[in-house]
Amino acid sequence: MGSHDEPVKTTAGNSRVTAETLAEKQHEISVTEFFEKNKQVLGFDSRAKSLLMGVKEAVDNSLDACEEGEFLPDIIVKIEKLAKEEYRVSIEDNGPGIVHRAMPNVFGRLLYGSRFHAMRQSRGQQGIGISATVMFANISTGRPAHIASRIEGKDEVAWEMDIAVDTKTNRPLVTNDRAFSWPGKEHGTRIEYTTKGVYNTGRQSIFEYLKETAIVNPHARIEFHDPEGTKYVFERATETMPPKAKEIKPHPQGMEIGDMMTYSSLSEQKTVKDFLKNDFCRMTARLADEICKNGGVNPSMSPRDLGREGSMALIKGISEVKLMAPPADCLSPIGDVLIKKGLMHTLEGMRPEYYATPVSRPPKAVNGNPFTIEVGIVYGGDIPSDGQVTIMRFANRVPLLYQQGADVITKAIGEVDWRRYGLEQRGGKGIPFGPAIILVHMASTKVPFTSEGKEAIAYFPEIEEEMIAALKLCARNLKSHLNKMEKKNKTHEKFDIVQGILPDLANKISEQLGKPVPDLSRTISKIMNVVWIEPSVEKSKESRKITYTIYNYTVRPHSFMIHLQIPAECMNDTITGGPMFDSANEEGKSQWLVKDLEASSSVQISFELKGDMADTFDADDVYISGINPVMVMGAESLPGDWGIKGMKITEENDYVPDDTDDEEEEEALEDEEAEFEKEADE
Amino acid sequence: MGSHDEPVKTTAGNSRVTAETLAEKQHEISVTEFFEKNKQVLGFDSRAKSLLMGVKEAVDNSLDACEEGEFLPDIIVKIEKLAKEEYRVSIEDNGPGIVHRAMPNVFGRLLYGSRFHAMRQSRGQQGIGISATVMFANISTGRPAHIASRIEGKDEVAWEMDIAVDTKTNRPLVTNDRAFSWPGKEHGTRIEYTTKGVYNTGRQSIFEYLKETAIVNPHARIEFHDPEGTKYVFERATETMPPKAKEIKPHPQGMEIGDMMTYSSLSEQKTVKDFLKNDFCRMTARLADEICKNGGVNPSMSPRDLGREGSMALIKGISEVKLMAPPADCLSPIGDVLIKKGLMHTLEGMRPEYYATPVSRPPKAVNGNPFTIEVGIVYGGDIPSDGQVTIMRFANRVPLLYQQGADVITKAIGEVDWRRYGLEQRGGKGIPFGPAIILVHMASTKVPFTSEGKEAIAYFPEIEEEMIAALKLCARNLKSHLNKMEKKNKTHEKFDIVQGILPDLANKISEQLGKPVPDLSRTISKIMNVVWIEPSVEKSKESRKITYTIYNYTVRPHSFMIHLQIPAECMNDTITGGPMFDSANEEGKSQWLVKDLEASSSVQISFELKGDMADTFDADDVYISGINPVMVMGAESLPGDWGIKGMKITEENDYVPDDTDDEEEEEALEDEEAEFEKEADE
């Protein structure tokens, strides 16, 4: 041994002194020291992850700030390599800026922020992330962060300063504080810091984080300069800001006695009735009276006199009334259209076969915090089929790249029996296998993360339940697509056989007999007995040309209606002016009337879609009415939830009871066969 | 809508005011408020988990206190049901007690403790757990916790008081503080609190937590009274305290520049040389000089004058010298014998077929914190074979029941290709399937948990690497056992065939010919050509009777040595006084000399084992020397790492080159067959 390491004096055998010794050792731990020693709970464990975490915290803050200021986010991320494992990172936004006096605390003090007590969906909440970034960068290189910010207004100057965190006291250390002119910058903030780090590519990289951020924030433009100097731009996919999430008051349901005691003791209201009515959401004077009556509490007493017994009585009273669920406008979900669009935008290279219609669930609440779950599934194409499905996790529009195993999302996916929805899964449990990507987004006023690093959503039964419900709904879409495809493939096979073998047979026999080849189209129609609707899509840079060919492979003429959901933004003359077009409503639900389509003939519907939303049109989603859906290939019966009545099925235009129809058809078929045999015999 | 929820005033379109508005909203968040709103990071999310977490924090503290005071832990856990989802919980220990003035802060203040800065293995470190328990119990029921403690000493009285946490200020609120007499209690602490909770049974229950705690703390006695009033006792399995973990100074390797700046600015040493020599571990005057020289730092300057540049120079200097790894005596691993014993103790009901010899790895360091990994594997018997293997996770002798998916242990297990070691695993990745239990223990001066709730170990490449190495080593034991079993089974089959068919054939032919049945034992021996060692174990309450039967199924006599590892504590007269016993060393490595065992004959070694450690003797672990191991069934060649030289293989006593041997044997066999045929012919 190179040296003798003197162990700290122990007090073996003298326990009274140990109790004293212990007491002397006990002291307060500053929250900064605590996080410094436990950097992994903040996500700053490995060099690679630290580099990502810093970018993530800064970009999350920038997006929040832009949305609060109602500016379409314009974010520039730059990473420069300075030395081995040492980088300079800068993130600039066009948010409302930060006033001069607030800058030190925002960046130089942990547990300091504006959103902690707000019940409203936002990315940052704890007032930890960005100051932790500043702290760990400083610990790793000894250098402070450099912050610049300008708030809007002609007379405002920009301010810049160097900020570090004093880990002993959790207070900002500011140097070089000065005003400066920032040419061309009307408002916004830039943070620049030097940190030890490792720059990675791949699934858990800064590039992937920014890409996934773009998927769920289609209103943001993100520019990224990587350490090689390559510039990537994720362009805005929409100019519309997401609806602003409103701040709400706490919802009284599921409140703990301790919370009630705190709220009541701090209330500024004069009476318990006013306290209930004004300090909570979903409350009325009538409900407040009822709660007081149920709990046996005097509604005119001061809320500050409630104490433990009174608070308990109020909680009992609340449990006996029926309250509305918390309002949904404190949330800002992505929405099914934008999820699909975001996925298509990003996954184009994999040419997936199918995008299941994303599912957005109505809000529920956990611990008084409203939340909503959104799910999307992408299937097939070049998505690798030999491994587990890819899971894309999001919380309040922030991609979660680490700690997949700890996330309730992973658990919920594992609880669904995916074998029922067409994916492979051992024992009906765990992450399924197959060529699919599953996206899950949780939006909430308070996402319960497993740690301050906000890498995974903690397990709550209420959340898991909602996720499972959303996953199953979305999986049902996938399953119906897979069924459709299987059916289509089988009918295709049948077609190939009938259209291949029958004419061959006829040719051969006719040749041997020296007779002319008979026309088989009626025969083939009789055997097939379907109306076939086949879509084709021609993509170009500006537009998509959609064509449906409708074949009548039956022995009778048919009339029916074809229904398509055109994105409302894409309605145009090529649709409304086209042949057979019937009508469309303002949501883009459109219909075409196919009138008297003769046996063994075909007809075409064709139009062009342009613009942002053209992508989201799914050519395979075809609905029909006015015809027995059993005899149609490539379309489903018009569903009730379209809120539109399709054509009625009547004897005149198509549908007659099965038995008579069958008999008729069979007779006709027999006739025809007899005719064919007779011809062949001669 | 029942009421109009007034949204908080927004400042749309006026961003200058928003920057101001934001600044006004910003304020400090107290650490208690933070944890109150993020109870899931402390593990207090669901009612069921909260109840378990409280018990866990209290028992962890009690075990730490007992070990610090060097008392064999005696812990009593009681849970009483008071109302629906409401319980009274009490945990009492025989630790050194807590001095009166320290009680309020220990139980009523978060981030307050004695072990935060100590580099030594302990269960609690953060000074959060027990005060969080008091806080959440108080929030859920409005009641303070009741604490009683007595420190050792004739003249000391016991003290009791009610304690709650003021969540606004993070300070204890004390009421009913008084001295009392605690009859029969010499020293120790009891905490009693009322909390909302749900009492569960099963895999994530208080009972399971205490059971697993008993596995890895065989020196503790734990008494548990469940809400039904049933009393369970986990008795001490050993009277020996684990070696006391020593406190060490920080190890300079891998230190961040920020850490170095802090250490040097706070050092009480006069010179940089003394600072290096005295404030770190594994340092000498010579090394300190070398570091200063390498970094170009004046060794006589004050460490407080180092600053950023000087600290950076020191770190550079440190990186250029070779330092010893941190000392291991700051750790207290369980040890392979006690792991096996603990597992056997607890899993007896499942009658596992095999306990792989547990693996304890030598210590490594991550971020300057020494750690060591221990792994045990149990296989077969009644362990369910149709699902994933069971994973038992431990950190510093504390069982981890939640967040398995987030744990580096789970990740490391998933990285091993278990198909190579006899378990089923899809694609050679992920948790394997089969009748096995895998135990992994990490002991460290600082276990990096993913969150304050200490439910899972965070991912660090260094930790994963060590775990994979330990898992593979242990899995190799499993594989060699499975191979042994397969070989044994195959030879058994061969035996059954040879011993069944040959005599049948002989009988039949002899009968038909009216001749006497020939003696086949030599023939059978020739065909088998093995020495067979077969163990049998008879268990009784007090002892285990072990018998080895050694058959010589060859055509020549053999002499050889049999080696067994007897637990040193179990050596006794039945062993040393038995037939053929040769010698044993103080570690219990024992050998028997089998001299001139005649062809087609057998002999027996038999002895009795008593006491605590009898369980840990594995009758299947038999080694031989002095005989060609290829011809022995049921034993392995004496391994080199036994540090004992076995019998030499010489031509006289057994081993002769293969070719002559083979020819001889073959000729003999042919002769014998010819003889048999001749006899049969007649």
Chain B residues lying within 8 Å of A282, measured CB to CB: 2-3, 5
Q: Which one of B26, B69, B281 has the shortest CB-CB distance to A114?
A: B26
Helix (H, G, I), strand (E, B) or coil at B666: helix
Sign of the alpha-carbon dihedral angle for B194, B195, B199, B204 = negative
A59 contacts A77 by C-beta, under 8 angstroms: yes
CA distance B405 to chain A (A): 4
Residue A656 covered by a domain: yes
N-term to C-term CA, chain A: 110
Tell me the pLDDT tens digit for each residue of B197-246: 999 998 889 999 999 998 889 899 999 999 999 999 998 878 888 888 88
Q: Say if the Cβ atoms of B99 and A28 lie within 8 Å.
A: no
One domain for residues B379 and B409 = yes
Q: Say if the Cβ atoms of A387 and B427 lie within 8 Å.
A: yes
What pLDDT is recorded for position B655?
A: 46
Q: Is the pLDDT of residue B52 over 90?
A: yes
User: Strand A145-150 to strand A74-83: parallel, antiparallel, or no bridges (unpaired)?
Assistant: unpaired
What pLDDT is recorded for position B650?
A: 60
What pLDDT is recorded for position B678?
A: 52
One domain for residues B44 and B176 = yes
CB within 8 Å of B9: residues ≥ 6 apart: none
pLDDT, mean of residues A599-612: 89
What pLDDT is recorded for position A650?
A: 59
CA distance B380 to chain A (A): 21
Interface test with A, best of B4, B6, B9, B16 (most A CBs within 10 A): B16
Q: Which one of A116, A405, A460 has the shortest CB-CB distance to B405?
A: A405
Helix (H, G, I), strand (E, B) or coil at B148: strand
Q: Say if the Cβ atoms of A96 and B244 lie within 8 Å.
A: no
| Beta carbons within 10 angstroms of residue A552's beta carbon | 21
Q: Which one of A65, A244, A311 has the shortest CB-CB distance to B142?
A: A311
Q: Which one of A287, A427, A458 has the shortest CB-CB distance to B40?
A: A458
User: B499-503, long-range: CB within 8 Å, 24+ apart, which pairs?
Assistant: B499/B524, B502/B527
At residue B393 the predicted structure's pLDDT band, cuts being 50, 70 and 90, is very high
pLDDT, mean of residues B337-353: 80
One domain for residues A463 and A400 = yes
Interface test with B, best of A10, A18, A291 (most B CBs within 10 A): A18
Tell me the pLDDT tens digit for each residue of A136-195: 999 899 899 999 999 988 777 899 999 999 888 889 999 999 999 999 999 999 999 999
CA distance A60 to chain B (A): 16
Lowest mean pLDDT among A116-120, A555-559, B261-265, B579-583: A116-120
Query: Among A308, A325, A342, where does a domain finish?
Result: A325
CA closest to B64 among chain A residues: A22
pLDDT over 70 percentage in chain A: 92
Q: Which one of B40, B284, B452 has the shortest CB-CB distance to A448?
A: B40
Q: Residue B444: which CATH number?
A: 3.30.230.10
Q: Which one of A97, A113, A312 has the shortest CB-CB distance to B142?
A: A312
Tell me the pLDDT tens digit for each residue of A403-436: 888 899 999 999 999 999 999 987 788 899 999 9
Q: Which one of A97, A106, A329 has the shortest CB-CB distance to B26?
A: A106
One domain for residues A121 and A217 = yes
Closest CA to A127 of B23, B452, B29: B29
One domain for residues A572 and A649 = yes
Q: Is the pLDDT of residue A329 over 90?
A: no
Chain B residues lying within 8 Å of A262, measured CB to CB: 167
Residue A181 covered by a domain: yes
A53 contacts A43 by C-beta, under 8 angstroms: yes
What pLDDT is recorded for position A18?
A: 64
Chain B residues lying within 8 Å of A113, measured CB to CB: 26, 29
Q: Which one of A29, A120, A312 has the shortest CB-CB distance to B111?
A: A29
Closest CA to A526 of A497, A555, A550, A551: A555
Q: Say if the Cβ atoms of B46 and A461 lie within 8 Å.
A: yes
Q: Is the pLDDT of residue B682 over 80?
A: no
pLDDT over 90 percentage in chain A: 43
Q: Is the pLDDT of residue A290 over 90?
A: yes
At residue B301 the predicted structure's pLDDT band, cuts being 50, 70 and 90, is very high
Residue A446 covered by a domain: yes
What pLDDT is recorded for position A653?
A: 46
Lowest mean pLDDT among A112-116, B139-143, B483-487: A112-116
Q: Which one of A18, A29, A99 has the shortest CB-CB distance to B23?
A: A99
Angle at A253 between CA A251 and CA A259, to 5 degrees: 80
Q: Is the ipTM of this complex over 0.85?
A: no
At residue B300 the predicted structure's pLDDT band, cuts being 50, 70 and 90, is very high
Q: Say if the Cβ atoms of B40 and A12 lie within 8 Å.
A: no
Q: Is the pLDDT of residue B15 over 50?
A: no
One domain for residues B217 and B189 = yes
Tell me the pLDDT tens digit for each residue of A378-395: 999 889 888 889 999 999
What pLDDT is recorded for position B266?
A: 86
Chain B residues lying within 8 Å of A28, measured CB to CB: 109, 111-112
Q: Say if the Cβ atoms of B127 and A29 lie within 8 Å.
A: yes
Domain count, chain A: 4
Q: Is the pLDDT of residue A664 over 50?
A: no
Residue B424: which domain range? Answer: 333-480
What pLDDT is recorded for position B673?
A: 46
Q: Which one of B15, B33, B323 has the shortest CB-CB distance to A71?
A: B15
Q: Say if the Cβ atoms of A5 and B249 lie within 8 Å.
A: yes
pLDDT, mean of residues A19-43: 80
pLDDT, mean of residues A72-86: 95
Query: Among A325, A345, A378, where does a domain finish?
Result: A325
Find which of A87-91, A510-514, B638-642 is predicted with most confidence, using mean pLDDT. Answer: A87-91
Token pair recorded at residue A223? 């520019």
What is the rounded distance in angstroms from the CA atom of residue B530 to the CA atom of residue B494?
12
Task: Return the number of CB contacts < 8 Å for A and B.
Answer: 308
Q: Residue A92: which CATH number?
A: 3.30.565.10
CA distance B631 to chain A (A): 43
CA distance B506 to chain A (A): 52
pLDDT, mean of residues A15-21: 56
One domain for residues B347 and B268 = no
At residue A682 the predicted structure's pLDDT band, cuts being 50, 70 and 90, is very low
What pLDDT is recorded for position B17?
A: 37
Query: Among B433, B452, B480, where does a domain finish?
Result: B480
Chain B residues lying within 8 Å of A70, measured CB to CB: 12-13, 15
What pLDDT is recorded for position A654?
A: 52
What burial class does residue A678 get, using C-beta atoms within 10 Å of its C-beta: 0-12 exposed, 13-18 middle, 19+ buried? exposed
Q: Is the pLDDT of residue A655 over 60?
A: no
CB within 8 Å of B261: residues ≥ 6 apart: A142, B306, B307, B308, B311
What is the rounded distance in angstroms from the CA atom of residue A268 to the CA atom of residue B481?
73
Lowest mean pLDDT among A337-351, A383-397, B141-155: A337-351
Chain A residues lying within 8 Å of B26, measured CB to CB: 102, 105-106, 112-114, 127
Residue A250 covered by a domain: no
Sign of the alpha-carbon dihedral angle for A343, A345, A349, A354 = positive
Closest CA to B292 of B322, B272, B277: B272
One domain for residues A184 and A142 = yes
Chain B residues lying within 8 Å of A102, measured CB to CB: 22-23, 26
Mean pLDDT of chain B: 85
CA distance A378 to chain B (A): 23
Q: Say if the Cβ atoms of B18 and A118 lie within 8 Å.
A: no
One domain for residues A561 and A616 = yes
Q: Say if the Cβ atoms of B26 and A112 lie within 8 Å.
A: yes
Q: Which one of A1, A65, A458 has the shortest CB-CB distance to B324?
A: A1
What pLDDT is recorded for position A10?
A: 38
Interface test with A, best of B38, B200, B391, B424 (most A CBs within 10 A): B38
Lowest mean pLDDT among A280-289, A433-442, B251-260: B251-260
Q: Say if the Cβ atoms of A3 and B259 lie within 8 Å.
A: no
pLDDT, mean of residues B662-675: 46
Closest CA to A465 of A383, A532, A409, A513: A409
pLDDT, mean of residues A349-369: 82
What pLDDT is recorded for position A121?
A: 79
pLDDT, mean of residues A630-649: 82
Lowest mean pLDDT among A159-173, A188-202, A494-508, A545-559: A494-508
One domain for residues B45 and B155 = yes
Q: Say if the Cβ atoms of A451 and B116 lie within 8 Å.
A: no
Q: Say if the Cβ atoms of A247 and B8 lie within 8 Å.
A: yes
CA distance A241 to chain B (A): 12
Chain A residues lying within 8 Å of B23, measured CB to CB: 98-99, 101-102, 114
Lowest mean pLDDT among A483-492, B42-51, B433-442: A483-492
Residues pairing with A436 in the sheet: A379
pLDDT, mean of residues B106-133: 82
What pLDDT is recorded for position A541?
A: 78
What pLDDT is recorded for position B664?
A: 46
At residue B39 the predicted structure's pLDDT band, cuts being 50, 70 and 90, is confident
Residue B545 covered by a domain: yes
One domain for residues A598 and A529 = yes
Tell me the pLDDT tens digit for each residue of A214-248: 988 989 999 999 999 999 999 887 888 888 888 88
Q: Which residue has the tokens 């609690």?
A: B124
Q: Is the pLDDT of residue B60 over 90?
A: yes
Mean pLDDT of chain A: 85
CB within 8 Å of A215: residues ≥ 6 apart: A342, A343, A345, A346, A392, A399
Chain B residues lying within 8 Å of A319, measured CB to CB: none
Q: Residue B602: which CATH number?
A: 2.60.40.1170
Chain A residues lying within 8 Å of B449, measured CB to CB: 38, 40-41
Is this model's pTM higher than 0.90 or not? no
Reported as half-sphere exposure (CB side, CA atoms, 13 A), residue A40 has a value of 22
pLDDT over 90 percentage in chain B: 43
Helix (H) / strand (E) element for A444: namely strand A436-444
One domain for residues B446 and B582 = no
What is the rounded distance in angstroms from the CA atom of residue A381 to the CA atom of residue A355?
11
pLDDT, mean of residues B647-672: 49
Chain B residues lying within 8 Å of A132, measured CB to CB: none
Instruction: List Cα–Cα distances, B118 to A4, A26, B69, in angstroms.
Output: 18, 11, 16
Chain B residues lying within 8 Å of A15, measured CB to CB: 69-71, 96-97, 151-152, 187
Closest CA to A370 of A215, A245, A279: A245
Q: Residue A292: which CATH number?
A: 1.10.8.50
What pLDDT is recorded for position A266?
A: 86
